[in-house]
Each structure stands twice: as structure tokens, then as C-alpha cells.
Amino acid sequence: SLCRTVFHPLCMQYPPSVNYRRCFLSELIKKHESTPTEPLDELYEALADILNKEGSTHCYKSYLLPSGDAITLSESVAIISRGTTGLVTWDAALYLAEWAIECSTVFANRTILELGSGIGLTGIAICKVCKPKEYIFSDYHQCVLQQLMENINLNGFLYKPEAMNHGIVHSENQKAELKGKQGPNITIAELDWDSVTKEKLSELQADIVIAADVVYDPEITLSLIGVLQKLSSCKTDGKPPEVYIAFTIRNPDTYHQFQTELARISSPSINTVRPGFSTRHWAGRSLLGSGLGTFSWEILLDGQ
């Protein structure tokens, strides 16, 4: 079992956090000791080895896709670091990725804009599995954007930095590489919901807009609503984009505020939740290493 977990080639190359490995091995030893078998030296040696290691502020997490392919991300070990929540993968990102994999036709051959991408789990899963035409990752925090770029590279994709606020120029080499590559066109955009203009959003020509875990603070919710309102008047092939948002309901007040504000800006293109069809509660099922509990969450389907 060690070869399939702590000594798995993926974990050797991209190790999970020291703390996680300690807990995992202690648990494995406890389980083993509760069975009527001989103690296994390699378990104690592996634990002794990890007990001697210093913890770090960064770790890797690997998530297995149903195809057996893996996504590996460099993440922060703290849920809030450098003043942002964006340096870890949140449960809603995992759920949205799972949902996207199950409903991959929604994304096939479309242009997707992701708001508040964080370090990229959902988008990388969609790019690996759902065959989108173009995927635009976006966030506004510089450290998050930096980590996002690293993670996209780590998973074998090339990207084009979008000159949203700063004029980022591509090298000739980068342009040639982007032309010759397979798979979706990937862009990373610096996009702040508070300052992005309708014109900028229109230029992106998104068919689909997605976001995970972006409803967690009343102030942020208002900014999100602002950007959704602008998006509702952006048309691609004569239609506004479809919007899918996944979130964990931590505080019912914040959730209700989001629903109320969403209803307030309702237009033919942004509808409120359609109960039954559009609200799904998923619980428990997880990808490798996510350690999910049973959060309730929702996907809001809009514009359909």
C-alpha cells in the first residue's frame, strides 16, 4: 500500500504537505496495528523519516481524474496566506470540476471564462477532459495569478497572458509555441470584478462563465453581482453567456444576499435558480487527496 500512496511516483515527485504525510502514515500504522499481523518496518521507517522533515508553506496536491490521468497543483498549506483565499483549492472547485466532467458537452468547443480561478483546479480539469475551444482563467491577486501560471505549466499546458491591465507582450518563441500546440487556447487574464469594463468582458466572447467558491463575503458578493450584470449584456453569437456558479453555503445570510441580489439584476439573460433542475446537492464523493466532508453546495444554471 505504500507504493500506491506515500511512495507513489507522483507523491515522490510532488510531495503532499509534511503534516498530511505524517497524519496519513500515523493513521496507516494505527490501522495496521489493529490487525493480527506482524508490524511492518517500512511503515515505521517512513514515519521516522517524515517526522524529521521541516514543514513548508507550500505543498503539492494531486487529484485523480476518472481517466486515471492526474492533475497536480502547487498549493499553500494555509487556507489564507498573503492576504488571499486564492492559494488553495476549495471544495466548490472540486465539485464544479466533477460536475463539468460529468456534463462535458456543456463545455465542448465553447469559450469559457472562469472568474476567480484561484490556482486553477477546475479550469485545468475542464481543459484536460471537456475539450473546450478556449479557456480564460482569471483572477485579480498577483500571487494567485503567479501560482496559477505555474500550475498550468505543471500540467503541461501553455498559456497566453491576457493584457487586461498591463501590456504583456509575447515573445516570438512563445507565439510560435502557442500556434503549434494541441488542445484548447488558454489565456490567463488579470480581471478585477470591481474595475473590469463591459467592453473588456465583451472582447472575451465567452459562451460560458463559471466560478467556484466566490460567494463567501457580502462585499465580494456585490462585486460578483456587478460583473454578472455586465456579462449579462455581453453577447456571443447573439446570446448572453450561460453562467454556472458552485459554492459552499457557509453562512445562510451571505447565500440569501447573493440570491436576492441575483434576482434584483435579473434580466432575460440572468435568471434566478430553477429549483429541481438547476439546484443540485452533492455530498461526499471526492477526487484523490481532497478529503471532502459533506458540504452542501449549489450550481446555479443561468441563461437557459
Residues forming contacts to ligand SAM in the complex (CB under 6 A) are 84-86, 89-90, 92-93, 116-118, 139-141, 144, 191-194, 212-214, 216, 220, 223
Tell me how far, at minimum, the Cβ of 131 lies from ligand SAM, in Å.
21
For residue 267, the 8-state DSSP code is: B
Q: Which of 294, 257, 292, 244 is nearest to 90 (CA)?
A: 292
Place of cell 483549492: 89
- Nearer of residues 25 and 141 to ligand SAM, judged by Cβ: 141
Whole-number minimum distance, CB 139 to ligand SAM, in Å? Answer: 5
Cell matching residue 292? 471532502
3-class secondary-structure state, position 73: strand
The separation between CA 245 and the C-alpha centre of its own chain, rounded to angstroms, equals 12
CB-wise, 142 or 153, nearer to ligand SAM? 142
The least CB distance from residue 96 to ligand SAM, in Å, is 7
Cell of residue 192, nine digits? 478585477
Please count the other Cβ atoms lying within 10 Å of the Cβ belonging to residue 264. Answer: 10
Question: For ligand SAM, which is the closer residue by CB, 28 or 122?
Answer: 122
CA distance 300 to 290: 23
CB of 45 to ligand SAM, least distance (A): 35
Closest to ligand SAM by CB, 93 vs 101, is 93
Note whether 302 and 243 are within 8 A (CB): yes
Cβ–Cβ < 8 Å for 154, 73: yes
**How, if at all, do strands 242-248 and 70-76 pair?**
unpaired
Residue 15 Cβ vs ligand SAM, minimum distance, rounded to whole Å: 21
CB closer to ligand SAM out of 47 and 97: 97
Nearer to ligand SAM, 117 or 187 (CB): 117
Give CA–CA dist 233/267, Å, rounded.
9
Q: Shortest gap between Cβ of 80 and ligand SAM (angstroms)?
A: 9
